[in-house]
């Protein structure tokens, strides 16, 4: 593994144990185990009130920068269920498999690509030392059935990767959107995989969400667009994290590359589990459109409106995980630090989330809850801010505790209404990371906050 | 069917044939049949570049008004796959069935609740007059399997309605979100049903999207919150449509009500197919939480923090369709009218979408594409607006045609850069519905537009 680009040598910051983020996620309403009252389902999660706000912000920022700001990129949203032939054309029915081995003694099953090399070479179980059996293939596609009448039911699959809809809709997009090669189609959507070993919280789930760009180019422009998107996507992730030294490219080795791929890169993020894939930048050439042309019988070639050249466009793919972004951002943002005020002996837990992605943008806090004027002023301000951004009102316990609660969920600004407010209409704005406080006039507050929490 | 409230007697406007909207949707990139290159899958659709923008706006507006503006409402986002016991507790495994009959002669199958009454009474096929057979039950849940190893696979279901996740997460939300009864949980998400007769475009699909509010109350406050949400939801739909006379309440008849329901209302919208359900306002009492308590063994009762009273909260549910909203909005907005300029003999097709929901907010048009200064000025303005809202740039064909293209997709504002612009920095802003034109200074344009296309 080599790093393609020199990373800044930032100070080594401690990597956060996953368990800390799992606990925070459940305690504060970011993520819950799915169907927990029924004992849960391995590898499936629900997102709580703060989780869904964070996810929505992540998705919107991706969409804004990928689709809204690129004249040559449009979006689609395809269904989770497609025609079964799609998965034959894509190769998933044949090749989307995990190779498993079972221990003859303890009966535990292992993915061969996850086994320590020496165990597999010696066919020894890493659990009990028993003998490992011959490998068998298990397909990861989740099946379902369309139609209710026996004999007419059609077996199909929940999509194993979201991007297939982009190829399916490519021709319709061309005909309906006035785009011309080079152009791209983006999508955010669910994918489903019967992972044998789901785990590490959101990192490997059985139901998860992907964001994809498929960018269609003339073969002669493949390299330039590959380089453009590789750079763009790296910078995008770079812009939303705090620990810049935890991000890198990993070029795929020759034996990892698909036969049609000249090159490929993973954008990786370093967690306590090591370097892990966050997004893939793939050189897909004409593979996908050619396969779908062949399997569907529909000609998916493109005619250049000027030169009249007819060809199957090549594809640059950038494919990342919404859930991995969510998890990496929490791991990146989480910090336990000594209380900066020195007034409390507690640790301060703070999520240093980028303000534009933070689930709650501002908390409005009356200094005391038993002073009607403070409370009324705070509630009025809260109502006003709430129309512009996600805003909380909190009057419970002392200001220090209220700051801590907001720090822990990553709220970038706390606004306190105190007795000076009643005199001169200024409020105290306290910033999460520095804990610095500034007095701002209430009239100026909405713009002050919007400038700091909105992408523009 | 009675109308609960007097509707305004607006002028009778022609109802739009579904086919017109289907054709526009495909031609301009709102909706495509899923997997069309493989012949399609009945009842499953993909959303194109304009469709996904419209859907996102619809969802954001719902979320903003339901979650962001209500202090006592939070959101979640649950998985599509849940534990199978959920669907036993909910009653779906037992009761989520269509009753079908088959004609002995032509072999066609019919849903009994969709058959004309006289056909079913006489057991005569409406297609060929043949004899209809005994009714049989078909469950609408789509099944799938978790796990890859035979004998360990768990049969479960894609969620037949999205709202179940809210009951599953109710206890976690209570523990993590500092909410207290009365409070609500909102969710937008997919549901899946093996409809025997999908049809009418997006109206009855096999994969579709719902938005739900489950609002938890003390039994003594049930009626007041039922009334609040019933009113709120009606006004919400009322605010986003043009033809106010096409919206009404339909109270459920006594024999339609669930045994626990004191009352229920559908909010209906009138299309060329007649009055159709858009959203249901349901009195669910303690049914859902009691069932899940019973099936899961988890006590889902609530203890009032002040009175210490312990009880299962009652639920007001508001449950509507995102896809039905999408379809109804297109049917509501679509109009073919004589060209208002009189200069062209063509019909003007226009989507009178609410500006805040329209997929494209503004189009920037240089008067001529062969004048470099016009083009440069227009492109610079477009780049600036694009960061704030979805903005198109179009220089192809004459201004009249470009206006028509934007009218057809519902773009509320077209901004033309002409020779006066180069002199005094003003642009022509042309409004979609009235086709009225105003000159605005370019500096003032972003705020002028934002005020008209943003909810606030």
Q: Which tens digit of pLDDT belongs to each residue from A288-306?
A: 999 999 999 999 999 999 9
Is A37 part of a structural domain of the chain? yes
Number of structural domains in chain A: 3
Nearest chain A Cα to B44, which residue? A79
Exposure string over A421-456, b if 16+ CB within 10 A, otherwise e: beeeebbbbbebeeeeeeebebeebbebbeeebebe
Residues 265-294 of chain A whose Cβ lies under 8 A from any Cβ of chain B: 292
> What is the average pLDDT across A329-354?
86
A180-236 pLDDT, tens digit per residue, is 999 999 999 999 999 887 889 999 999 999 999 999 999 999 999 999 999 999 999
Put simply, the answer to whether B194 touches A145 (Cβ < 8 Å) is yes
Backbone torsion region of residue A107, taken as left when φ is above 0, otherwise alpha when ψ lies between -120 and 50, otherwise beta = left
B364-403 pLDDT, tens digit per residue, is 999 999 999 999 999 999 999 999 999 999 999 999 999 9
Same domain, A44 and A106: no
Q: Residue B7 pLDDT > 60, yes or no?
A: no
Is A2 part of a structural domain of the chain? no
Among residues B210, B202, B218, the alpha carbon closest in space to that of B318 is found at B210
% of residues, chain B, pLDDT over 70: 95
Is A7 part of a structural domain of the chain? no
Same domain, B172 and B37: yes
Minimum-distance CB partner of B41 among A38, A71, A83: A83
B315-338 pLDDT, tens digit per residue, is 999 999 999 999 999 999 999 988
> What is the average pLDDT across B415-434?
97
| Alpha carbon separation from A86 to A15, A144, A165, A364, B49 (Å, rounded) | 41, 14, 9, 51, 21
Nearest chain A Cα to B64, which residue? A387
Residues of A in contact with B194 (CB under 8 A): 145-148
Same domain, B157 and B211: yes
Residues of B in contact with A404 (CB under 8 A): none
CA distance B9 to chain A (A): 33
Q: What is the pLDDT of residue B196?
A: 80
Residues 43-102 of chain B whose Cβ lies under 8 A from any Cβ of chain A: 44-49, 51-53, 55-56, 63, 68-69, 71, 74-83, 85-86, 98, 100
Q: What is the pLDDT of residue A117?
A: 86
Is A419 part of a structural domain of the chain? yes
Is B121 part of a structural domain of the chain? yes
Put simply, the answer to whether B37 touches A146 (Cβ < 8 Å) is no
A75-113 pLDDT, tens digit per residue, is 999 999 999 999 999 999 998 888 888 899 988 888 888
Q: Which of A61, A176, A326 to mutate: most B Cβ within 10 Å?
A: A176
B47-62 pLDDT, tens digit per residue, is 999 999 999 999 999 9
B140-191 pLDDT, tens digit per residue, is 999 999 987 666 789 999 999 999 999 999 999 999 999 999 999 999 999 9
Is A34 part of a structural domain of the chain? yes
Q: What is the pLDDT of residue B5?
A: 45
**Average pLDDT value over all residues in chain B:** 93
Put simply, the answer to whether B148 touches A168 (Cβ < 8 Å) is no
Put simply, the answer to whether B51 touches A172 (Cβ < 8 Å) is no
| Alpha carbon separation from B91 to A348, A422, B88, B95, B153 (Å, rounded) | 46, 56, 5, 6, 23
Q: Are A215 and A166 in contact (CB under 8 A)?
A: no
Asked if the C-beta of B149 comes within 8 angstroms of chain A's C-beta atoms, the answer is: yes
Q: Which two tokens stand for residue B229?
A: 């949400």
Residues 413-442 of chain B whose Cβ lies under 8 A from any Cβ of chain A: none
Q: What is the pLDDT of residue B171?
A: 97
Is A399 part of a structural domain of the chain? yes
Residues of B in contact with A51 (CB under 8 A): 76-77
Same domain, A81 and A103: no
- Which of A15-29, B35-49, B247-261, B339-353 bottoms out in mean pLDDT, i.e. has the lowest? B339-353
Same domain, A125 and A86: no
Same domain, A400 and A441: yes
Residues 17-36 of chain A whose Cβ lies under 8 A from any Cβ of chain B: 26-29, 32, 34-36
A408-436 pLDDT, tens digit per residue, is 999 999 999 999 999 999 999 999 999 99
A58-73 pLDDT, tens digit per residue, is 999 999 999 999 999 9
Among residues B273, B67, B246, B77, the alpha carbon closest in space to that of B169 is found at B77
Minimum-distance CB partner of A38 among B56, B86, B192: B86
Prior bond to A182 cis, omega within 30?
yes
Asked if the C-beta of B110 comes within 8 angstroms of chain A's C-beta atoms, the answer is: no
Q: Given pLDDT bands bounded at 50, 70 and 90, which one contains residue A26?
A: very high
CA distance A110 to chain B (A): 12
Q: What is the pLDDT of residue A110?
A: 85
Is B344 part of a structural domain of the chain? no
Put simply, the answer to whether A44 touches B169 (Cβ < 8 Å) is no
Q: Residue B342 pLDDT > 70, yes or no?
A: no
Minimum-distance CB partner of A44 among B45, B81, B85: B81
Backbone angles phi, psi at A212, to 5 degrees: -130, 145
Q: Which of B35, B186, B193, B205 to mutate: most A Cβ within 10 Å?
A: B35
* Residue with token string 């630090």: A337
For position B369, which CATH number holds? 3.40.50.800
**Average pLDDT value over all residues in chain A:** 93
Same domain, A104 and A45: no
For position B167, which CATH number holds? 3.30.930.10
| ipTM, 2 dp | 0.94
Residues 311-350 of chain A whose Cβ lies under 8 A from any Cβ of chain B: none
Put simply, the answer to whether A147 touches B49 (Cβ < 8 Å) is no
Q: Given pLDDT bands bounded at 50, 70 and 90, which one contains residue B449?
A: very high
Same domain, A116 and A65: no
Same domain, A146 and A261: yes
Same domain, A305 and A189: yes
CA distance A143 to chain B (A): 6
**Which residues are bridge partners to B207 per DSSP?**
B192
* Residue with token string 């185990």: A33
Mapping DSSP onto H, E and C, the string for chain B reads: CCCCCCCCCCCCCCCCCHHHHHHHHHHHCCEEECCHHHCCCCCCEEECHHHHHHHHHHHHHHHHHHHHCCCCEEECECCCECCCHHHHHCCHHHHCEEEEEEECCCCCEEEHHHCCHHHHHHCECCCCCCEECCCEEEECCCEEEECCCCCCCEEEEECCCCCHHHHHHHHHHHHHCCCCCCEEEEEEEEEECCCCCCECCCCECCEEEEEEEEEEECHHHHHHHHHHHHHHHHHHHHHHCCCHHHEEEEECCHHHCCCCCCCEEEEEEEECCEEEEEEEEEEEECHHHHHHHHHHCCCCCEECCCCCCEECCEEEEEEEEHHHHHHHHHHHHEEEEECCCCCCCCEEEEECCCCCCCCCCEEEEECCCCCHHHHHHHHHHHHHHHCCCCEEECCCCCHHHHHHHHHHHCCCEEEEECHHHHHHCEEEEEECCCCCEEEEEHHHHHHHHHHHHCCC
| Alpha carbon separation from A385 to A131, A391, A424, B76 (Å, rounded) | 65, 6, 19, 22
Same domain, B233 and B306: yes
Number of alpha helices (DSSP H) and beta strands (DSSP E) in chain A: 13, 23
> What is the average pLDDT across A430-452?
97
Enclosing domain of residue B303: 18-94+142-331
Cα separation, A440 vs A175, in Å, equals 53
Put simply, the answer to whether B77 touches A40 (Cβ < 8 Å) is no
Residues of A in contact with B454 (CB under 8 A): none
Same domain, B122 and B163: no
Mapping DSSP onto H, E and C, the string for A113-178 reads: HHCCHHHHHCCECCCCCCEECCCEEEECCEEEEECCCCCCCEEEEECCCCCHHHHHHHHHHHHHHC
Residue A166 sits at the vertex; the CA angle it makes with A162 and A167, to the nearest 5 degrees, is 115
> What is the average pLDDT across A239-259?
95
Residues of B in contact with A71 (CB under 8 A): 393
Task: Centre a 10 Å sphere on the Cβ of residue A317 and count the other Cβ atoms it contains.
Answer: 20
Residues of B in contact with A143 (CB under 8 A): 144-145
Q: What is the pLDDT of residue A199?
A: 84
Asked if the C-beta of A110 comes within 8 angstroms of chain B's C-beta atoms, the answer is: no
Put simply, the answer to whether A69 touches B386 (Cβ < 8 Å) is yes
Q: Are A260 and A287 in contact (CB under 8 A)?
A: yes
A114-158 pLDDT, tens digit per residue, is 888 888 888 999 889 999 998 888 889 999 999 876 667 899 999
């Amino acid at each position: 593994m080599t790093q393609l680009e020199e990373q800044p040598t930032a100070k080594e910051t401690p990597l956060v144990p996953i368990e800390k983020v799992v606990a925070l996620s459940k305690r504060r309403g970011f993520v819950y185990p799915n169907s927990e009252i029924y004992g849960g389902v391995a590898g499936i999660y629900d997102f709580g009130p703060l989780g869904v706000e964070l996810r929505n912000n992540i998705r919107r920022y991706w969409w804004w920068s990928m689709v809204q700001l690129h004249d040559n990129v449009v979006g689609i949203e395809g269904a989770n269920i497609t025609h079964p032939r799609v998965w034959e054309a894509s190769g998933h029915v044949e090749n989307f498999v995990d190779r498993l081995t079972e221990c003859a003694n303890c009966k535990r099953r292992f993915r061969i690509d996850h086994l320590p090399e020496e165990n597999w070479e010696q066919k020894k179980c890493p659990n009990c030392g028993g003998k490992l059996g011959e490998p068998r293939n298990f397909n990861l596609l989740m099946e379902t059935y369309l139609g209710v009448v026996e004999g007419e039911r059609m077996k199909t699959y929940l999509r194993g990767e979201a991007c297939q809809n982009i190829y399916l809709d490519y021709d319709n997009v061309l005909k309906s959107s006035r785009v011309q090669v080079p152009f791209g189609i983006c999508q955010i959507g669910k994918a489903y995989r019967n992972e044998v070993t789901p785990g590490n919280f959101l990192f490997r789930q059985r139901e998860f969400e992907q964001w994809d760009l498929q960018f269609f180019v003339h073969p002669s422009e493949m390299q330039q667009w590959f380089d453009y998107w590789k750079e763009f996507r790296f910078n995008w992730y770079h812009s939303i994290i705090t620990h810049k030294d935890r991000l890198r490219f990993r070029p795929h080795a020759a034996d990892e590359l698909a036969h049609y791929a000249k090159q490929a890169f993973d954008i990786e993020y370093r967690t306590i589990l090591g370097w892990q894939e966050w997004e893939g930048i793939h050189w897909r050439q004409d593979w996908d459109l050619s396969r779908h042309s062949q399997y569907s019988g529909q000609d998916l070639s493109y005619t250049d409106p000027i030169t009249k050249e007819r060809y199957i466009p090549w594809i640059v793919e950038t494919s990342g995980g919404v859930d991995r972004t969510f998890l990496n951002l929490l791991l990146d943002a989480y910090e336990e630090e000594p209380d900066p005020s020195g007034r409390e002996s507690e640790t301060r837990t703070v999520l240093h989330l980028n303000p534009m992605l933070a689930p709650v943008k501002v908390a409005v806090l009356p200094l005391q809850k038993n002073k009607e004027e403070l409370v009324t002023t705070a509630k009025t301000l809260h109502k006003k801010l709430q129309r512009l951004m996600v805003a909380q009102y909190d009057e419970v316990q002392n200001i220090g505790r209220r700051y801590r609660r907001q720090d822990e969920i990553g709220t970038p600004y706390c606004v306190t209404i105190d007795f000076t407010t009643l005199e001169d209409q200024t409020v105290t704005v306290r910033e999460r990371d520095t804990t610095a406080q500034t007095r701002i006039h209430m009239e100026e507050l909405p713009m002050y906050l919007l400038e700091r929490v909105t992408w523009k």
